[in-house]
Structure 1
Amino acid sequence: MLKSRVAASVLLAVATVFWDAADAAEFIARTTTVTEMKAVFGQVASRNVVPSRARIGGTVREIRVSEGSEVKEGDVIAVIVDDKIALELQAADSKINALKSQLENARTELERAQQLLARGVTAQSRLDVAKMALDVVLNQVAAAEAEKAVIKQRAREGDTLAPATGRVLTVPVTPGSVILPGEEVARIATGHYYLRLSLPERHAAEIVEGGTVVVGTRGLAQPPMESRSEPKAAAREGHIAKVYPEISNGRVIADVEVAEIGDYFVNERTLVSIPVGKRSVLAVPPEAVKTLHGVDYVRVATSDGEMDVAVILGGQFEDKGERRIEILTGLRDGDRIILP
């Protein structure tokens, strides 16, 4: 019985080796050129930040937005009241009423002069004087009504409007505070958001407009370009839209366009991997690597047969649509790799 069991085990082992050899494929390890990526901080910025300013001076009666509010162009942000405007309106109404009384009197004088001239008991000069007096009063009424319209417009300008559509960043005033004309009531970030990068001067030659960058997940998470456990789908791609020609304090400034970052905070930082050069690497498919007791091995076909070679791995990348793992040590260019 024992001999039969040993024989069965040997046959199973031989069958397993035969199956693995039949299904195995070879991969020739070749040196390839990959783009060297560097992780830097990118800061979310708005294309434009415009202030909403008070058009009149007075007391802040009401604030209708807060930090983070979404506003549209023309929305009322705050209401500013100047108590003197109500008194000026009353004075303008009184002045208009007085001028209207003078206007009625001037019309009466003109009609009387016309009747007397028709009877031949007065001179033409009196009629001319009455016409001129009526014209003067009419012009005074028009001027007073225009002054009242100006006062009403100033009262309407107490409504502080949003100058553009966007998100409110700061509201530096509070209800009850007194402000002067032109003071800032709110700051609004308008336009789409982008990432601003500040890179060391040594990378100035490698950074070009149109280059592709990889943006990590929201926050300060490392972009998973060289991670063996995270999928590449966790990262998002962006494109370098502009490289500024001036180097300031040893730093190069570049702007990156990324889709769907409108819900980020302005000045929020996130990690971005940018291309800073190229290097030659030796890489194999991920399935060629097997790990045993914490050591990574690759099976290599030699003239003496197959053997497992211990290797040290680098990061993962894509080469012509195929996933590859960089081999730092253990293999040479041209080695025949046995794939399962």
Structure 2
Amino acid sequence: MRALIALCATLFASALSAETLEISPQPVTMWKSVFGQIESRVQIPARARIGGTIEELTVTEGDRVEAGQQLARIEDDKLQFQIDSLDAQLEAARAQLTTAQSELTRGNALLERGVITTQTHEQLQTNVDVITSNISNLQAQRLVVEQQISEGAVLAPAAGIVLSVPLSRGSVVTMGESVAEIGGGGTFLRLSVPERHAGDLAEGDEIVITGAEGTRTGRLVKLYPLIQGGRLQADVEVEGLDARFVGRRVPVRLPVGTREALLVPESALTRAGGLDFVTVETPDGPLARVVVPGETVEQDGTPFREILTGLRAGDRVVTRDE
């Protein structure tokens, strides 16, 4: 009781030089706490272009890669067998061409002397042309097989970080199977918000992200129109987001509406005897009222305290000099 009397005397003395503030209901943003998940803007699988066995794997999870960098090498023994077969056919065709060209040369000499007919000479020329065409066809087939062998190199489709490598050296893969997952293009936050708050959110809203690196703000850039399982998907742009761990969850506060509250400056509150007091200007002079303060609310960078009970709109609150 003595402490309360002393407090009232102190407040009365300081009120003479303090300023007063008439309080009125102020709009306060209502926040909803959810979790956001860090996602890569682009997630592209590096796929095998041929089937075979992985003979070389040069990356693992967490490695950073450049676009076009070789991640793995796939070999198919059948392709090498085809190369060997085509080489043998080419060697035989070239030998046939040598013989056919020799016969054509002799046929030219015999034709000049009138020993053979023009029809026979044309047949010799046709044999040379057919064998030459066959050699060109075999060479084209060999180029196709060589291209298939070169496509055994699995290349990074984009610059980024390797998110997953589901296979290992020695694994058998089919054409089109994913060898590694690449995440690139930066990161963003993907939110899953209860559908009851869908009407309270709008693109461009500011959100608050809290974590080990401190508190920062972000901007809601996209709301997905499809609601699944009672959850709304939303994307948030955050400057300087830590992208070391894709898929990491971080706490996020979303603005989901506003409400009216009575706010007083922090300097207007005094605590004594386990109670909180606010000095109010009355016709009879300053009066210390017991109040129940709520959460701290920042407005224009200045901290205010919400008063749950003890004050009403129109009261003139005495603020203490700092």
TM-score range, shorter chain: 0.7 to 0.9
Alignment partner of 1:201 out of 192, 195, 204: 195
Alignment partner of 1:153 out of 140, 147, 154: 147
Q: Deviations over 1:271-325 (max 9, x none)?
A: 1111111100111122222333543322222222223323222222233443322
Residue 189 of structure 1 is matched in structure 2 by 183
Q: TM-score, normalised by structure 1?
A: 0.84
8 A contact 1:41–1:270 mirrored in 2:
yes
Alignment partner of 1:315 out of 295, 299, 310: 295
Residue 41 of structure 1 is matched in structure 2 by 35
8 A contact 1:192–1:262 mirrored in 2:
no
Alignment partner of 1:248 out of 225, 228, 239: 228
Residue 69 of structure 2 is matched in structure 1 by 75
Distance 1:199 1:167, change over 3 A: same
Residue 260 of structure 2 is matched in structure 1 by 280
SS class of match (1:240): strand
Alignment partner of 1:112 out of 106, 109, 124: 106
Q: Deviations over 1:67-117 (max 9, x none)?
A: 122222211111122233333222222221221111222222222222222
Q: What is the one-letter code of the residue matched to 1:68?
A: G
Q: Answer with 37-46 or 17-26: which moved more.
A: 17-26
Residue 141 of structure 1 is matched in structure 2 by 135
Q: Deviations over 1:168-197 (max 9, x none)?
A: 221111112222222221122233322222
Distance 1:195 1:155, change over 3 A: same
CA distance in 2, matches of 1:79, 1:205: 51
SS class of match (1:205): helix
Residue 241 of structure 2 is matched in structure 1 by 261
CA distance in 2, matches of 1:294, 1:86: 87
Please report how far the alpha carbon of residue 124 of structure 1 lies from its aligned counterpart in structure 2 after TM superposition. 1.5
Does 2:84 correspond to 1:90? yes
CA distance in 2, matches of 1:89, 1:291: 90
Q: What is the one-letter code of the residue matched to 1:322?
A: T
Gaps of 5+ in 1: 1-15, 220-233
SS class of match (2:94): helix
Does 2:159 correspond to 1:165? yes
Distance 1:207 1:198, change over 3 A: same
Q: What is the one-letter code of the residue matched to 1:306?
A: P
CA distance in 2, matches of 1:263, 1:197: 16
Q: Answer with 274-283 or 86-95: which moved more.
A: 86-95
Distance 1:206 1:20, change over 3 A: same
Residue 131 of structure 1 is matched in structure 2 by 125
Q: TM-score, normalised by structure 2?
A: 0.88
Q: What is the one-letter code of the residue matched to 2:116?
A: T
Residue 335 of structure 1 is matched in structure 2 by 315
Alignment partner of 1:289 out of 250, 262, 269: 269
Residue 7 of structure 2 is matched in structure 1 by none
SS class of match (1:298): strand
Over aligned residue pairs, what C-alpha RMSD do you find?
Answer: 2.3
8 A contact 1:117–1:124 mirrored in 2:
yes
CA distance in 1, matches of 2:78, 2:315: 90
Q: What is the one-letter code of the residue matched to 1:292?
A: A
CA distance in 1, matches of 2:11, 2:274: 24
Instruction: Report the count of equivalent residues.
Output: 311
8 A contact 1:218–1:270 mirrored in 2:
no
CA distance in 1, matches of 2:108, 2:76: 49
SS class of match (2:247): coil
CA distance in 1, matches of 2:212, 2:190: 15
Distance 1:105 1:22, change over 3 A: farther
Q: Deviations over 1:19-53 (max 9, x none)?
A: 94565222222211122111111122233322222
8 A contact 1:37–1:276 mirrored in 2:
yes
Does 2:300 correspond to 1:306? no
Identity of aligned residues (%): 41
Please report how far the alpha carbon of residue 152 of structure 1 lies from its aligned counterpart in structure 2 after TM superposition. 1.4
Q: Answer with 262-271 or 20-29: which moved more.
A: 20-29
Distance 1:187 1:160, change over 3 A: same
Q: Bigger relative contact order, structure 1 or 2, given CA contacts below 8 A and separation 6+?
A: 2
Please report how far the alpha carbon of residue 136 of structure 1 lies from its aligned counterpart in structure 2 after TM superposition. 0.8
